[in-house]
Amino acid sequence: MTDKTITCTQCGRDFIFTENEQKFYQEKGLTNEPKRCPECRAEAKRQRSSSRFNRDRQMYTATCALCGREAKVPFVPSADKPVYCKDCYLQKKQ
């Protein structure tokens, strides 16, 4: 394997797809070469991450089934399933 020069489909700049990166892609079973340069890939990742956490979410109030404290949850609580506060949920998860 040798380094490959690829043109970024987003910004149009050339970037190097190194031999080590190619080996990494093979080890992970990735069959397609990258289409965007590392900078454009990083920016797309930042945008996906920020949009996931910054979107306006409706939060609902419920009472924790274990400790009785108020809990805020991103779903409508139903009477047939228990709802836990963050602390109790993490304890129960372990």
| 3-state secondary structure at position 39 | helix
Residue 79 Cα to chain centre, angstroms: 31
Return the pLDDT at 92: 84
Mean pLDDT of residues grouped by 10 in the chain (94 residues)?
A: 95 97 96 95 86 70 94 89 91 84
Return the pLDDT at 68: 94
- The residues pairing with 91 across neighbouring beta strands, listed in sequence order, are none
**Rounded to whole angstroms, what are the CA distances from 33 to 18, 51, 70, 75, 87?**
11, 26, 49, 39, 43
Per-domain residue ranges of the chain: 4-54, 60-93
Q: What are phi and psi of 2, to 5 degrees?
A: -130, 160
Q: Judge contact between 88 and 73, C-beta under 8 A.
A: no
